[in-house]
Amino acid sequence: MAYPYQIKSLEEYQQNYQQSVMDPEGFWANVADHFYWRRKWDKVLEWNFKDPDVKWFTGGKLNITENCLDRHLGTLGNTPAIIWEPNDPEERHRVITYRDLYNKVCQFANVLKNNGVKKGDRVCIYMGMIPELAIAVLACARIGAIHSVVFGGFSAQSIADRIQDAQASLVITCDGAFRGNKDIPLKSVIDDALIGCPSVKKVIVCTRTRTPVSMIKGRDLWWEDEIKQVETMGNPPCPAEEMDAEDMLFILYTSGSTGKPKGVVHTCGGYMVYANYTFVNTFQYQPGEVYFCTADVGWITGHSYIIYGPLSAGATTLMFEGVPTYPDAGRLWSIVDKFRVNILYTAPTAIRSLMGYGLGPVNHKDLSSLKKLGSVGEPINEEAWHWFKDHIGKGRCPIVDTWWQTETGGIMITPIAGITKEKPGYATLPLPGIQPILVDEKGEEIKGNNVNGNLCIKFPWPGMLRTTYGDHERCRTTYFATYDNLYFTGDGCLRDEDGYYRITGRVDDVLNVSGHRIGTAEVENAINMHAGVVESAVVGYPHDIKGQGIYAYVITERQTHDPELTKKDILQTVSRIIGPIAKPDKIQFVSGLPKTRSGKIMRRILRKIAEGELDNLGDTSTLLDPAVVEEIKRSRL
Ligand code: WTA
């Protein structure tokens, strides 16, 4: 498959960028023309950021799976779509061709139909990283059901919140998942979650770990049995449901600075065009290349760059069940070696943790197949960038440091591999179609170079979120109300003397722990669930491997006799309410928190203390009780 919209040179990048700003509609119509539409759109773009109301390709009809599967069958039927590497290196890997994948998706889509799933229904997917996860996602899209994938590390309570918010009618899960030396009992977590979820009528369970599970009669079904049913029906085809460009494709929950996670909504047409365009261009994908993204499908990176981007481009996408350190810290390099991987897309936190093992696990691995490297999820520090460049890319592979968000649907600011310049620590330049601006506190644009500000986007792009599920007002206030007529990213950003962008981190109360987004309010709420806790305040602090660590200041009812035990209890509570990924790295017991006279916690001060900047706390005179700061400083961890 050739990509006529693939940028081939620096000049072409500049031309395309210019065109995308002068004539955005013409620009995106040209890209969208290279997809399979049942019916062409009437209008490329209608928008305002006030409501907000953004529509791309209105009147267009399509099904994203026809673009990911059907249209490739003629030319790529026998080409690997998914290569799957299991957690255990001794187990056999699997290669699924485009034809196999098409058949399996149709089969499972028929399973969903047999179980009453219809267009517009919400389906929650809670599975490990096995090909059936991709099949489940695509099967939903095939019949127009809206998938909501929940990362396997979330607790029963978190799943229940997400299922209730989306009013999902069906859950797809596995008996368990293998991750490193762990065996995660997914089905039993789902059983706990479903106690409070009457909307769920059916649960389909795929066999993976053979962990014993209890199956509830009338509700729980085995994936394999349901497939047999479809086989006895003679494996009927499953025509793709015709979707409107603006029909919902999926919901993905993500954390913000307040309240519970919100369901970011992406729609069929714009998301497809954007995921594909950004994949093909950023990585400069060439037909036949083996592409390996180490993310989990539970996050947006897995949606856009394991499934939809690569498959819509007819690429070969490698899916890995396990973790980079199992059975040893050379696992990713062994996989590169084994499958002759050409493109590796991973996260700074993984690179930093692998750096810690030295070069032993890298030596003797043949990494000569690698051509392009990518990083995503958090700022990459220069040390990690150079290690990646020198020891993995052997100095010959470009690195794309891709900045984007769940809400943006796809990559926004990034080098284009081998075409635009890279700069360690910088996401560099916007892709065509993306118009970033920096603003100050008042929302005034900060012009010129060598400046710092809050990163906003001033014009719509096809992959942007359309709403937050069931609560459009929340979408408006979170992203479009801070600054008039701008999408606010929540990130701080620097533009250097050359006009390159460097993301400096969140400016709101959202943490980025090992590339996972976690709201401080969410962690506080979870800690406060512990019976002995009166109040808590959570901030981030720099962490060598995770990027950011979680620091919790906690007030307990009485002096605890055994602080270590209380800490353990609190960690368990957080695990139970959110999941192990949100467990604080440090818990400091305090007798009070620094508050303003109006009762607002002064997080700025707590952040400084957590970072160890004790002499630089700024003005504390407006505090209700300045003495509490001295106490917190003294007992700092
Ligand atoms: C951060 C992940 C610096 C940023 C795709 C953003 C980054 C948040 C980068 C979104 C990068 C992501 N450099 N920071 N290359 N990529 N971020 O929604 O703070 O899980 O707002 O999407 O991660 O996280 P999310």
548 Cβ closer than 6 Å to some ligand 1 atom: no
Phi, psi angles (nearest 5°) of residue 606: -65, -35
Q: pLDDT value at position 273?
A: 98
In a domain, 124, yes or no: no
Banded model confidence at residue 243, pLDDT cuts 50, 70, 90: very high
In a domain, 229, yes or no: no
Neighbour-count burial of 61, counting CB atoms closer than 10 A to its CB (0-12 exposed, 13-18 middle, 19+ buried):
middle
HSE at residue 439, side-chain half, CA atoms within 13 A, is 21
Q: pLDDT value at position 406?
A: 98
Mean pLDDT of the chain: 96
C-alpha of residue 439 to centroid of ligand 1, in Å: 19
405 Cβ closer than 6 Å to some ligand 1 atom: yes
HSE at residue 74, side-chain half, CA atoms within 13 A, is 4
Q: Which amino acid is at 584?
A: P
Tell me which residue has its CA closest to atom 11 in ligand 1. 403
Q: What DSSP assignment string belongs to 500-558?
A: -EEEEEESSSEEEETTEEEEHHHHHHHHHTSTTEEEEEEEEEEETTTEEEEEEEEEESS
300 Cβ closer than 6 Å to some ligand 1 atom: yes
Q: Which amino acid is at 170?
A: L
Neighbour-count burial of 420, counting CB atoms closer than 10 A to its CB (0-12 exposed, 13-18 middle, 19+ buried):
buried
491 Cβ closer than 6 Å to some ligand 1 atom: yes
Ligand 1, residue 489: give the atom nearest the CA.
21
The domain that contains 618 carries what CATH number? 3.30.300.30
Give the mean model confidence (pLDDT) for residues 94-99: 98
Measured in Å, how far apart are the chain's first and last C-alpha atoms? Answer: 56
Q: What gap in Å lies between CA 569 and CA 555, rounded to an integer? A: 14
In a domain, 524, yes or no: yes
Residues composing the chain: 637
Q: Are 511 and 504 in contact (CB under 8 A)?
A: no
Q: What gap in Å lies between CA 331 and CA 322, rounded to an integer? A: 9
For a mutational test of ligand 1's pocket, the pick from 388, 404, 434, 506, i.e. the residue with the most ligand atoms closer than 8 A to its C-beta, is 404
Q: Per residue in 567-583, pLDDT tens?
A: 999 999 999 999 999 99
Q: What gap in Å lies between CA 93 and CA 88, rounded to an integer? A: 9
518 Cβ closer than 6 Å to some ligand 1 atom: no
Q: What gap in Å lies between CA 264 and CA 522, rounded to an integer? A: 17
The domain containing residue 603 runs over which residues? Answer: 512-634
List the structure tokens of 162.
């997400």
Assess whether pLDDT exceeds 80 at residue 559: no
517 Cβ closer than 6 Å to some ligand 1 atom: yes
C-alpha distances (whole Å) from 500 to each of 111, 372, 429, 520 are 49, 21, 6, 30
298 Cβ closer than 6 Å to some ligand 1 atom: no
In a domain, 577, yes or no: yes
Assess whether pLDDT exceeds 90 at residue 3: yes
Ligand 1, residue 413: give the atom nearest the CA.
15
Assess whether pLDDT exceeds 90 at residue 97: yes
454 Cβ closer than 6 Å to some ligand 1 atom: no
In a domain, 101, yes or no: no
Tell me which residue has its CA closest to atom 3 in ligand 1. 379
Tell me whether strands 262-267 and 248-254 are parallel, antiparallel or unpaired.
antiparallel
Tell me which residue has its CA closest to atom 8 in ligand 1. 405
Tell me whether strands 516-519 and 53-58 are parallel, antiparallel or unpaired.
unpaired
Q: Per residue in 162-208, pLDDT tens?
A: 999 999 999 999 999 999 999 999 999 999 999 999 999 999 999 99
254 Cβ closer than 6 Å to some ligand 1 atom: yes
In a domain, 54, yes or no: no
Give the orientation angle of helix 186-193 with respect to helix 156-166, to 10 degrees: 60
Q: Are 198 and 171 in contact (CB under 8 A)?
A: no
Assess whether pLDDT exceeds 90 at residue 637: no
The structural domain count of the chain equals 1
C-alpha of residue 376 to centroid of ligand 1, in Å: 7
Give the mean model confidence (pLDDT) for residues 129-139: 98
Assess whether pLDDT exceeds 80 at residue 464: yes
Q: Are 435 and 28 in contact (CB under 8 A)?
A: no
Percent of the chain with pLDDT over 90: 93
428 Cβ closer than 6 Å to some ligand 1 atom: no
Non-local CB neighbours of 106 within 8 Å, separated by 6+ positions: 139, 142, 235, 237, 238
Say whether the peptide bond before residue 52 is cis (omega within 30 degrees of 0).
yes
Q: Per residue in 397-424, pLDDT tens?
A: 999 999 999 999 999 999 999 999 999 9
Q: What gap in Å lies between CA 387 and CA 455, rounded to an integer? A: 28
Q: Whole-model pTM?
A: 0.96
C-alpha of residue 107 to centroid of ligand 1, in Å: 36
309 Cβ closer than 6 Å to some ligand 1 atom: no
Tell me which residue has its CA closest to atom 13 in ligand 1. 379
In a domain, 573, yes or no: yes
Percent of the chain with pLDDT over 70: 100
In a domain, 321, yes or no: no
C-alpha of residue 349 to centroid of ligand 1, in Å: 12
Ligand 1, residue 516: give the atom nearest the CA.
20
HSE at residue 636, side-chain half, CA atoms within 13 A, is 17
Tell me which residue has its CA closest to atom 1 in ligand 1. 378
Tell me whether strands 547-556 and 533-543 are parallel, antiparallel or unpaired.
antiparallel
The H-assigned helical ranges of 297-411 are 300-302, 309-312, 331-339, 348-355, 382-387
Q: Per residue in 486-531, pLDDT tens?
A: 999 999 999 999 999 999 999 999 999 998 999 999 999 999 999 9
Assess whether pLDDT exceeds 90 at residue 257: no
Ligand 1, residue 301: give the atom nearest the CA.
5
Assess whether pLDDT exceeds 90 at residue 45: yes
Banded model confidence at residue 314, pLDDT cuts 50, 70, 90: very high
Assess whether pLDDT exceeds 90 at residue 285: yes
378 Cβ closer than 6 Å to some ligand 1 atom: yes
